[in-house]
Structure 1
């Protein structure tokens, strides 16, 4: 497989866009170190249920963003490594880890490069984990799944909680605009990664939302990849993993994906009552034999 197959040039454009977006996102989140020092966690019940007891286990958090969930995983007793393509996100994660006094290892790398290099070193983990807006940045599912399998120990698990590809078919006003089947063709957004923290009205900053950067505009475009549930499951199966759990949820955690979403307890976001329900998230657990 070559860098052309992986569309590495698109990955680098995504890196630049995420660098800018991360600044905007964290501008709304205030004193995050204090939140963690006081025992806070950014994890939702869904990922904790799928992960189970992770105390004492080695875990790699792929596409870890700015490290808030990574540190929350450490709080559950795991030995955690975070990996993300964004320079800004990893720099923030390292600083937050130090200031919060929660030890974790962070690496700035394209996830494909990191997985390949880690597999070559023979390093393996009990759990690989990804969540909330992760799979849409994966340009080649089979390569991704095989490399995840290679960095898992025997009986190790890959756990993912993510926004449902069915939800990605709709515009913010619930109009059907995008295809479900794209066969790996990129979808380019000229306005880049947006400020979804501001759009979610603070639901992604449970310790207190701050105004921060207003009217954020990203100068760098991004490229996403639409993969169906069947694509994802098949890639994991072909990588030699065994699917143990597949769940779908009629709400999104923290993030207001659409207009007029209703916030329920636990920061769960539902469509308004005049819109039929649809799957907004899914969760999977796949185990290495």
Structure 2
């Protein structure tokens, strides 16, 4: 299952369109961020621990708020995204706020053509891996950018959530392999229309076992897998608030997983 270039180009153009809309939305609260508010959630802050002085590679960083939030915590951070508009906005924010972070416009799978260094931590979060088709290649790239015994950390929406339809019924298979095409007319941030345009998104569904096995097979040793009975973003249908910055599915509540996180460490040697 290999991603065709037109899929990447299609998604790149879609995210170029969405960047300005997202930057101006209350969902991202860019003004609050400019005034010092962190865009990171309690989960990644607690699980990453002290990152002061650490070199971090942030894959699929969108327009850089999380990257810059990591830098505000004292890390030396490089953010990467496929969207030209997102990277331009990220660089603008870094300059405006005088935050020393670097940003690179690149497809994750082609990153080795433009970035040649290693990091203490490779980081990715929320709504990222669904834009990638080949997780074995993804894990190989992660390993290649980690320093000896470096850490990979991710926090993501749980794949179970994507089996639910708008009525909270299980309508889709958990085990999908084909590319999923959808036409998007509204942003998930505030349901605002996308300038009268219809954007096509191509995504891939990855089961938890696929994610974990891709890391294990590339000699990344799991230190933990955590699952969470709530969302930290109100961006799925039929969610209800269950605490500060927490939402659950109205029908299932805490009976189903909503998110997961993984921490893995690079092995000293790769198994042949």
TM-score by length of 2: 0.91
Distance (Å, rounded) in 2 between the aligned partners of 1:274 and 1:250: 10
Question: What aligned pairs does 1:144-155 form with structure 2 within 5 A after superposition?
Answer: 144-155=138-149
SS in 1 for 2:159: coil
**Could you tell me which residue of structure 1 aligns to residue 212 of structure 2?**
233
User: Partner of 1:166: helix, strand, or coil?
Assistant: helix
Aligned to 1:55: 52
1:61-82: CA deviation from partner (whole Å, max 9, x where unpaired) = 1000011111100011100000
> C-alpha distance in 1, partners of 2:155/2:102?
22
The corresponding residue for 2:183 is: 190
Structure 1 residue runs of 5 or longer lacking an equivalent are 200-213
Written as runs of structure 1 = structure 2, the 5 A alignment for 1:193-232 is: 194-199=186-191, 214-216=192-194, 217-232=196-211
- Aligned counterparts of 2:253 and 2:155: Cα–Cα separation in 1: 24
Q: Is the 8 A contact 2:124 2:154 kept in 1?
A: yes
SS of the equivalent of 1:286 reads: strand
Matched, 1:270 2:264: no
Q: Which runs of 4+ in 1 moved over 3 A?
A: 29-38, 115-118, 273-276
- Distance change (3 Å), C-alpha of 1:85 and 1:41: same
**Count, aligned residues:** 266
State the SS of the aligned residue for 2:40: coil
Separation (CA, whole Å) in 1 of partners of 2:157 and 2:220: 21
> Structure 1 residues 273, 168: CA separation in 2 closer, same or farther (over 3 Å shift)?
closer
For residues 84-118 of structure 1, give each alpha carbon's deviation from its aligned partner in whole angstroms, at most 9, with x where no partner exists. Answer: 00111111111111111212100111111114653
Q: Which residue of 1 aligns with 2:262?
A: 284
Counterpart of 1:245?
A: 224
Matched with 1:159 is: 153
- What CA distance in whole angstroms lies between the structure 1 residues aligned with 2:4 and 2:224? 30
Report if the CA contact (8 A) 1:17-1:218 is conserved.
Answer: no
Following superposition, the deviation at residue 276 of structure 1 comes to 6.6
Higher RCO, 1 vs 2 (CA within 8 Å, ≥6 residues apart): 1
**Local SS of the residue matching 1:253:** coil
Matches within 5 A, 1:16-165: 16-29=13-26, 35-115=32-112, 117-118=114-115, 121=116, 123-165=117-159
Distance 1:37 1:196, change over 3 A: closer
Q: Distance in 2 between matches of 1:73 and 1:273?
A: 35
CA 1:55 to 1:68, structure 2 compared with 1: closer, same or farther past 3 Å?
Answer: same
Structure 2: runs of 5 or more not aligned: 268-272
Contact 2:230 2:254 in 1 (8 A): no
**Worse overlay, 19-28 or 48-57:** 19-28
